[in-house]
Amino acid sequence: MSSNMLIDKNSPYCPGCGHMNVTLNLAKAIDSLEIDPLDVIVVSDIGCCGLIDPSLASHTIHGLHGRACALASGIALAIDNPNKKIIAIQGDGGATIGIAHLLEAARRNFNLTLIVNNNQIYGMTGGQLSGLSNENFQHENANIEEPLTPFNLIELAKSAGATYGCQLIGKGDFTDYLKKAINNNGFSIVEILEVCPSYGYQKYSEIENLGFKTYEFENKRNPFRLYKNEIKSLINFNESKVYFESNLDKPIKIILAGSAGEGIQSAAELFARAAISCNLNVTKKGDYPITVGTGFSVAELIISPNEIHYTGIEKADVLIAISQNGFDYTKTKIDDNTFVIADSSIQNLISSNKLTFDFQKTFGKKNSAISSLFTLLILKNIFPPEAFENSLHESKHREKFIQLIEKIKSFLSEINHPA
């Protein structure tokens, strides 16, 4: 068979595997529909069925186990183009692992086709039974005391709202069914019962003897459309204007380490905005435990006159520690070259390049992060302190920050660091 869709006719599967006939039929269906392979996106799953990727001339995405249908749903919604064909391919294991994604795709009638290669077992991991394994199928790896009734995947999809479904035995030519599924306007599912020469049924006659017959259904429904409302971007590019100049000539890596409730993340974001207003490149990463309201809170900032290609910080150029648990969490990221600004309450701080101040006592818990960052700008020529001051003025807490800035300037003046 000559195929534009199929670029490698050498089977990637075990000799005699039913997956190869599915691959051939799928390629033939695409070609006979005269669909350009570059208008096709195939999303494959973990498992033997996922070996299909290199054989196809289409776009392919290799997903996590059980998540191919979820990925395909996202692609269908994002593209929203009936001329593009989205096809997800899963084994019976992947389909049952991700059955909630399948049912939701059917319920919403996303415009995609799901092909389920059902050889009754997890073929890649030794032949364990899946949620679609026939109750009469038993072998040494089954590990089940009594037979379990499998899910009826096609009926489940039908009841959920799929607009085309078919169950068939995967021998011979079944391209007509695949063509119906691919041309269907909405969610389609084709379950293909296959042989597996290693662990499953060896002959298609064994599957036929179980009473399986071709079954299909059609429902009339409009496919789901995602109505796109205008939503304000989380990044307001209009505010990212250059107001100040900086003499920074190399990247500087700053870690701001404190505790939950100390405004670490918001202070770092305001500092980042100030750097952007000086025509500098900035990355900001927040790190805190899942409890959010307790424990450490850490922000990593990289500020650079050039593009930033890696956002991680192994060793900090500057560590600002305003609470003990923030310092304890980040102390492995300092060395002899790190400049440390710390609250005087920090214990076990061993550094020859440090300055300590009473940030917490002087400014209070919620203002220490901003005060310490302002202090850094006075001590180090990263960018003008006025840029940070302007960023604070433009925040929603402007009135509070105006008073805070005056207090910081007075504090710095008293310790012989005039602002």
- Return the number of other C-beta atoms located less than 10 Å from residue 68's C-beta: 33
Spatial contact of 118 and 191, defined as CB atoms under 8 Å apart: yes
Residue 149, φ and ψ in degrees, nearest 5: -70, 125
Letter string b/e over residues 82-121, b meaning 16 or more CB atoms within 10 A of that residue's CB: eebbbbbbbbbbbbbbbbebbbbbbebbbbbbbbbbbbbb
Q: Are 96 and 152 in contact (CB under 8 A)?
A: no
Whole-number Cα distances in Å, 162 to 45, 216, 225, 253: 21, 11, 15, 52
Contact criterion met (CB below 8 Å) for 121 and 199? yes
In angstroms, the CA 44 to CA 61 distance is 6
- The distance of Cα 109 from the centroid of its chain, to the nearest Å, equals 23
Beta-bridge partners for 319:
255, 340
Q: Per DSSP, which regions of 74-228 are E strands? A: 85-91, 112-118, 121-122, 128-129, 164-169, 187-193, 215-218
Partners of 60 in the β-ladder = 42
The CA distances from residue 44 to 86, 108, 143, in Å, are 11, 21, 28
- SS3 of residue 91 by DSSP: strand
**pTM score, two decimals?**
0.61
Query: What pLDDT, on the 0 to 100 scale, is given for residue 136?
Result: 77
Q: Do 114 and 184 form a contact (C-beta atoms < 8 A)?
A: no
- Which residues, 6 or more positions from 277, have their beta carbon under 8 angstroms from its beta carbon? 240, 241, 242, 243, 244, 387, 390, 391
Helix (H) or strand (E) holding 148: none
Measured distance CA(367)–CA(262) in Å, rounded: 7
Output the CA torsion sign for 287, 269, 320, 392: negative
Backbone φ and ψ of 361, nearest 5°: -70, -35
Phi-psi region of 98 (alpha: psi -120 to 50; beta: other; left: phi over 0): alpha
- Cα–Cα distance measured from residue 295 to residue 360, given in angstroms and rounded to the nearest whole number: 17
- Per-residue confidence (pLDDT) for residue 419, from 0 to 100: 46
pLDDT of residue 397: 83
Closest CA to 90 of 123, 61, 131, 49: 49
59-62 and 40-44 beta bridge pairing: parallel
Show pLDDT as tens, one digit a residue, over the chain (419 residues). Answer: 446 999 988 899 999 999 999 999 999 999 999 999 999 999 999 999 999 999 999 999 999 999 999 999 999 999 989 899 999 999 999 999 999 999 999 999 999 999 999 998 888 888 888 888 888 776 555 556 667 888 999 999 999 999 999 999 999 999 999 999 999 999 999 999 999 988 888 899 988 988 888 999 999 999 998 776 666 655 555 556 778 999 999 999 999 999 999 999 999 999 999 999 999 999 999 999 877 678 999 999 999 999 999 999 999 999 999 999 999 999 999 999 999 999 999 999 988 899 999 999 999 998 999 999 999 998 898 999 999 999 988 888 888 888 888 888 888 777 655 44
Q: Are 105 and 95 within 8 A, CB to CB?
A: no
Scan for tokens 């061993």, then name that residue.
Answer: 350
Domains and their CATH numbers in the chain: 18-218 (3.40.50.970), 242-414 (3.40.920.10)
Q: Are 116 and 95 in contact (CB under 8 A)?
A: yes
Q: Dihedral (C-alpha) 219, 220, 226, 229: value to the nearest 10 degrees?
A: -150
pLDDT of residue 230: 61
